[in-house]
Structure 1
Amino acid sequence: MDEQLKQIGERLRGLRDVLDIPVSEMAETIGISSDKYEKIEAGEMDITISNLMKIAHKYGVSTEELIFAEAPHMKSYYVTRKGQGMSIERTKAYKYQSLVGGFVNHKADVFIVTVEPKPEAQVVYKNSHPGQEFNLVLEGKMELYIAGKTIVLEEGDSIYFDATKPHGMLAMGDKAVKFLAFTVE
């Protein structure tokens, strides 16, 4: 499996060990079985950004610490230069670049998300997480599926929604879509 998944799994196991959290509690936090959660820690199964956010929020760590193994250090301000934010490619189709990763105790997670088009129509994975989310399309066009609705968003369009509702996206056409994702509880 992907080396990044193994590293995230190791950090999750480390967090659980340090805080003496049973596997069953961690699995319950993200709504999966203990067996599946153990596969995540072993790097054999992927974990969504929204589930990492749930864990980070519940146990008082930053999402970036779980994803990138870097603790924020800046307290007054944090600048992210174009193309320089910490990034992770979650799958071949999704890339997340953190824009706030270096700021201590940030109240929101802000990412530039790039979604590659899928050659043929596929089932869109939907997830949910605490709080609210704002998306602004920077490039391309996407379908956003939220709470049983399909909304087409083009460059310059934005949406603000209840992130506890199941949601997912799909790039439209033959070009990747790039959007700003801002989540806050």
Structure 2
Amino acid sequence: MQDNLAQIPGRIKELREIMEISAMDMAADIDVPYETYSRYESGELDIPISVLYKVANRLETDTTVLLTGEDPRMDTAGVCRAGKGVQIERYPGYEFSSLAYNFKGRTMEPLLVSLDPNKKTAAPVTHSGQEFNYVLEGVVKVTVNKREYLLEAGDSIYFNALLPHAQSAVKVPSKFITIIQE
């Protein structure tokens, strides 16, 4: 997937240019400082998943197109076999696997997230919509607006994603399902 990661900024730039949107306008449209956006598009800075959603929305495309270079194909049902989701590591120790990448017109984004407790915790993020996390394995610390929740396998949390939030594994590798609705 590292090859795909390296190609994301180029896909964004190409689609932006096709749509005749300046880099400055794109930065303003997705509410990111121009200097930061410029570093995303040049590949100097990793693009947070929440920003990928904003970019895809502004470019009137699916996040799958940005991640893989391919359009989703399914419109009745999309099956994702075990271990076959589109994987992307956005932050050290924080790996996403898109579980519905091949379904057209998604209104929510289900992701399998694997966390490594030995890696640095990602900074809190915000994005529009709501988010649901369901812990499958391990213990996950979910921080929402500075309040911490320790969740074990079988526990879940639903929250307003406009609030700063982050997840981290506690002592052991952990996995959870997150469903993000923009």
Tell me if TM exceeds 0.5: yes
Q: Which residue of 1 aligns with 2:156?
A: 158
Which residue number corresponds to residue 71 of structure 1? 71
Partners in 1 of 2:90 and 2:132 — Cα distance? 20
1:19-47 CA distance string (max 9 Å, x none)? 11111222224433212211111111111
**Matching residue of 2:167:** 169
Which residue does 1:178 correspond to in 2? 175
C-alpha separation between the residues in 1 aligned to 2:34 and 2:19? 17
Question: Number of residue pairs matched?
Answer: 181
What's the offset of the Cα at 1:4? 4.1
CA distance in 1, matches of 2:142, 2:71: 32
- Give SS of 1:105's match: coil
User: How far 1:3 moved relative to its partner?
Assistant: 4.4
Number of the residue aligned with 2:55: 55
Return the offset for 1:59.
3.0
Residue segments in structure 1 that go unaligned for 5+ positions in a row: none
Instruction: State how far apart, in whole Å, the 2-side matches of 1:64 and 1:112 are.
Output: 15
Give the Cα separation in 1 of the matches to 2:92 and 2:50.
18
The unaligned stretches of length 5 or more in structure 2 are none
Is the 8 Å Cα contact of residues 6 and 41 (structure 1) preserved in structure 2? no
Q: Which moved more, 1:9-18 or 1:26-35?
A: 26-35
Q: TM-score when scaled to structure 2?
A: 0.92
Q: Residues of 2 paired with 1:12 and 1:145: CA distance? A: 31
C-alpha separation between the residues in 2 aligned to 1:148 and 1:78?
A: 36
Report the TM-score when normalising by structure 1.
0.90
Q: Structure 1's 96 and 124: CA in aligned 2 closer, same or farther, altered over 3 A? A: closer
Match of 1:26 in 2: 26
TM-fit CA distance, 1:91: 3.4
Q: CA deviation at 1:15?
A: 1.8
Which digits, 9 at most, give the CA deviation of each residue in 1:117-148, with x for residues without a partner?
Answer: 136xx564011111111110111111111112
Residue deviations 1:50-98, cap 9 Å, x none?
1111222233211121122221001111111111111112233111111
2:91 aligned counterpart, secondary structure = coil
1:1-185 to 2 correspondences below 5 Å: 3-118=3-118, 124-173=122-171, 175-185=172-182
- Decide which moves more: 20-29 or 163-172: 20-29
Name the aligned partner's letter for residue 62 of structure 1.
Answer: D
- Percent identity over paired residues: 35
Supply the distance in 1 between the matched residues of 2:110 and 2:97 (Cα, whole angstroms): 8
Task: State the Cα RMSD in Å.
Answer: 1.7
